[in-house]
């Protein structure tokens, strides 16, 4: 088994949600951390990732503060968003299907997604690196992210479907 560390400086966790049924508002979390485990053949076997909920950034300070409040993420009580894999299946050399549990606030729900994984490379500093891209969506109401307002046309100020994209880079932990 080999452990890899998520390189937060080279990882982007972004999201989008409909605003008033009109356009997508985008944002990201500045800090994603965690570990990936591979077997002796380099096949991913486990993922444990954490997002600092207070690191949310949408290019609007008032909106960011509202998202950090009890109306949404309640970062004072629930500082982390957490994903732990329950099953990782290699489909081919570059694709995996990942199933696991996503915890937002005090709610844990199963999710699944496909991930495209790059072959490891040696970086200029003597470390092995790899990367992956993945996407999934979920209904925010399933995680008690329920604040919104209905508009006269029936649309919501904040849509219910959240689309998430993650581009992650991992670094192999040096042998002890």
Q: Phi/psi class of residue 154: alpha, beta or left (left: φ > 0; alpha: ψ in -120 to 50)?
A: left
The predicted pLDDT at position 150 comes to 84
What's the mean per-residue pLDDT of the chain?
Answer: 94
The predicted pLDDT at position 32 comes to 98
The predicted pLDDT at position 156 comes to 81
The predicted pLDDT at position 176 comes to 47
Kindly report, residue by residue over 3-34, the tens digit of the pLDDT: 999 999 999 999 999 999 889 999 999 999 99
Q: What is the CATH number of the domain that holds 39?
A: 2.40.128.110
Q: C-alpha angle with apex 27: 157 to 6, nearest 5 degrees?
A: 145
With 70 as the cut, is the pLDDT of residue 113 above it? yes
Element holding 64 (H helix, E strand): helix 61-68
Q: What whole-number distance in Å separates Cα of residue 50 and Cα of residue 153?
A: 38
- Total domain count, the chain: 1
Kindly report, residue by residue over 50-103, the tens digit of the pLDDT: 999 999 999 999 999 999 999 999 999 999 999 999 999 999 989 999 999 999
Determine how β-strand 128-139 pairs with β-strand 161-172: antiparallel
Residue 168, strand partner residues? 132
Per residue in 41-66, is it b (16+ CB within 10 Å) or e — as a string?
Answer: eeebebbebbbbbbbbebeeeebbee
Residue 175's pLDDT band, with cuts at 50, 70 and 90, is: low
Kindly report, residue by residue over 140-157, the tens digit of the pLDDT: 999 999 888 888 888 888
Q: Which domain holds residue 157?
A: 2-172
């Amino acid at each position: 088994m080999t452990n890899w560390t998520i390189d937060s400086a080279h990882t982007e966790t972004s999201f989008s949600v409909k605003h008033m049924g009109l356009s997508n508002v985008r944002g990201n979390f500045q800090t994603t951390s965690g570990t990936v485990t591979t077997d002796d053949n380099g096949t991913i076997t486990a993922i444990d990732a954490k997002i600092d909920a207070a690191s949310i950034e949408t290019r609007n300070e008032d909106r960011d503060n509202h998202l950090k409040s009890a109306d949404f993420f309640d970062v004072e009580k629930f500082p982390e968003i957490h994903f732990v894999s329950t099953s990782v299946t290699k489909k081919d050399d570059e694709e995996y299907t990942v199933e696991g549990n996503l915890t937002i606030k005090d709610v844990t729900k199963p999710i699944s997604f496909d991930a495209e994984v790059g072959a490891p490379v040696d970086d200029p500093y003597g470390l092995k690196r790899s990367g992956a891209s993945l996407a999934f969506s979920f209904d925010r109401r399933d995680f008690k992210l329920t604040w919104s307002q209905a508009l006269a046309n029936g649309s919501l100020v904040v849509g219910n479907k959240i689309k998430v994209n993650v581009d992650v880079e991992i670094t192999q932990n040096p042998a002890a």
